[in-house]
Amino acid sequence: MAYDEDLADRVREHLVGTRVTEKKMFGGLAFLVDGNMAVAARGHGGLLVRVDPSESDRLVEEPGVEPMQMGGRAPMTGWLHVAAEAIADDESLDRWVQRGVRYALSLPTR
């Protein structure tokens, strides 16, 4: 399944000035900062966001956010799926993109 190209374009706008690499992975288009995935435009819609695992429980309380689950495995702590409706406006999208970028920057460069 192809990723949401419109969402990918919107994400790019929020990453201007950030050292970012794009890579097809996780059934979508991932945006990596210093070699670490920050966010991805998903093939099934919405955004995959990598966050500090210690913040996962708090962040899933926000509307449209749930733990990421791939291939029937247990939910992945620190990886969140944000529904398209929760990032429909630019302010909401930017908040999630920047969360992913901050966490990616906190990790060792790959």
Look up residue 22 and give its DSSP letter.
E
Structural domain range at position 95:
5-106
Average pLDDT of 93-104?
Answer: 98
Percent of the chain with pLDDT strictly greater than 70: 99
Burial class from Cβ neighbours inside 10 Å (0-12, 13-18, 19+) for residue 52 reads: middle
pLDDT at 1: 54
pTM reported for the whole predicted model:
0.93
The CA distance from 40 to 100, in Å, is 9
The domain that holds 57 is classified in CATH as: 3.90.1150.30
